[in-house]
C-alpha cells in the first residue's frame, strides 16, 4: 500500500532517495502500537533532519510495517489521521515526505511487503524509478536492516525506538552503519557528500 504526497517521478531525472522507517525513527514507538494521532510524537530533531534531507535534494520515503491494521487495533482512516498529523508536523518545520509505503498485514500473512521481506522496498524502487543499490535505508529494527540489505541498500541503524535492543542482539548485516538517532544519521550522510 502507498500514500503518495507529491507528483510522479520522471524516469529521466536523477533521484536521490532515502528510505526511513516510521516508528522508532521519526516518532517514538510503543509496544502497544501507535494507534491514534494523539499517540504519535516526533523524536526530537527527526523532523528537522528530514527538512535537511529535503533541502539537500533527497526524496524522502517512509516504509513502515503497520500490522495494527491487520490485528484490528486501528483502521485505515486512523492510519491516515496519524499520517496527516505527521505531515502537518513536518510542514511546520519546512519538511515533507514524498510518499509513505506501508504493510497492513500481520506476520502470519507471510506477504511479500512486510519487512524483513524486500517487497515494499522493491515497490519503492519501481515507483521512483530508482536502482536501490546504495540507497540509505534507516531503521531501528533488524527487519529494517535485513530488507535494506536484500535490495542492496545501505542499512543504517538508529538507536532510538528498538535500536538499542537491535544493537545488543546483533546479527544484523555486516555493512550496517550505526547512529544515535536520525539527526546524527542525516548529519553524517550530508557531511559525506
Domain harbouring 172, CATH code:
3.40.50.1000
Number of domains, the chain: 1
Q: Burial, 8: exposed, middle or buried (Cβ in 10 Å; 0-12, 13-18, 19+)?
A: exposed
Q: What is the distance between the alpha carbons of residues 170 and 175, in angstroms, rounded to a whole number?
A: 12
Range(s) of the domain holding residue 46: 2-191
pLDDT of residue 5: 46
| CA 191 and chain centroid, separation | 21
Please confirm, yes or no, whether 21 is among the known catalytic residues.
yes
The grid coordinates of residue 162 equal 528498538
H or E element at residue 146: helix 142-150
Region of 52 on the Ramachandran plot (φ > 0 left; ψ -120 to 50 alpha; else beta) = alpha
pLDDT of residue 193: 82
The grid coordinates of residue 6 equal 507529491
CA distances for 21 relative to 12, 101, 152, 193, angstroms: 27, 10, 17, 22
Q: What is the distance between the alpha carbons of residues 80 and 14, in angstroms, rounded to a whole number?
A: 30
Name the active-site residue from 21, 29, 144, 149: 21
Categorize the per-residue pLDDT at 192 as very low, low, confident or very high, splitting at 50, 70 and 90.
confident
pLDDT of residue 4: 46
**What letter does residue 32 receive in the DSSP assignment?**
T
Q: Which residue bears the cell 524486500?
A: 118
Strand extents, DSSP E, 13-52: 16-20
pLDDT of residue 1: 58
Q: Which residue bears the cell 540489505?
A: 149
**What letter does residue 114 receive in the DSSP assignment?**
S
Q: Provide, rounded to the nearest whole percent, the portion of the chain with pLDDT above 90.
A: 91
Please confirm, yes or no, whether 181 is among the known catalytic residues.
no
pTM > 0.85: yes
Reported as a single tens digit per residue, the pLDDT across 34-43 is: 999 999 999 9
Percent helix / strand / coil, the chain, rounded to 5: 35, 20, 45
Residue 10 scores a pLDDT above 90:
no
Reported as a single tens digit per residue, the pLDDT across 99-146 is: 999 999 998 999 999 999 999 999 999 999 999 999 999 999 999 999
Residues 2, 157, 47, 69, Cα dihedral to 10°: 40
Name the active-site residue from 23, 29, 144, 149: 23
Reported as a single tens digit per residue, the pLDDT across 68-82 is: 999 999 999 999 999
Amino acid at each position: 500500500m502507498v500514500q503518495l504526497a507529491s507528483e510522479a517521478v520522471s524516469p529521466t531525472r536523477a533521484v536521490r532517495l532515502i528510505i526511513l522507517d516510521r516508528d522508532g525513527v521519526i516518532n517514538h514507538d510503543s509496544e502497544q502500537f501507535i494507534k491514534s494521532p494523539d499517540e504519535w510524537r516526533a523524536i526530537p530533531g527527526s523532523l528537522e533532519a528530514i527538512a535537511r534531507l529535503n533541502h539537500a535534494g533527497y526524496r524522502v520515503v517512509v516504509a513502515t510495517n503497520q500490522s495494527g491494521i491487520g490485528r484490528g487495533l486501528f483502521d485505515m482512516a486512523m492510519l491516515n489521521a496519524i499520517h496527516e498529523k505527521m505531515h502537518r508536523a513536518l510542514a511546520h518545520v519546512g519538511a515533507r515526505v514524498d510518499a509513505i509505503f506501508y504493510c497492513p498485514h500481520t506476520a502470519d500473512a507471510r506477504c511479500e511487503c512486510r519487512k524483513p521481506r524486500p517487497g515494499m522496498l522493491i515497490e519503492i524502487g519501481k515507483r521512483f524509478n530508482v536502482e536501490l543499490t546504495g540507497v540509505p535505508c534507516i531503521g531501528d529494527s533488524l527487519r529494517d536492516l535485513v530488507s535494506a540489505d536484500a535490495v542492496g541498500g545501505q542499512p543504517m541503524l538508529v538507536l532510538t525506538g528498538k535500536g538499542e535492543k537491535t544493537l545488543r542482539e546483533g546479527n544484523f548485516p555486516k555493512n550496517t552503519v550505526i547512529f544515535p538517532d536520525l539527526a546524527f544519521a542525516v548529519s553524517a550522510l550530508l557531511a559525506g557528500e
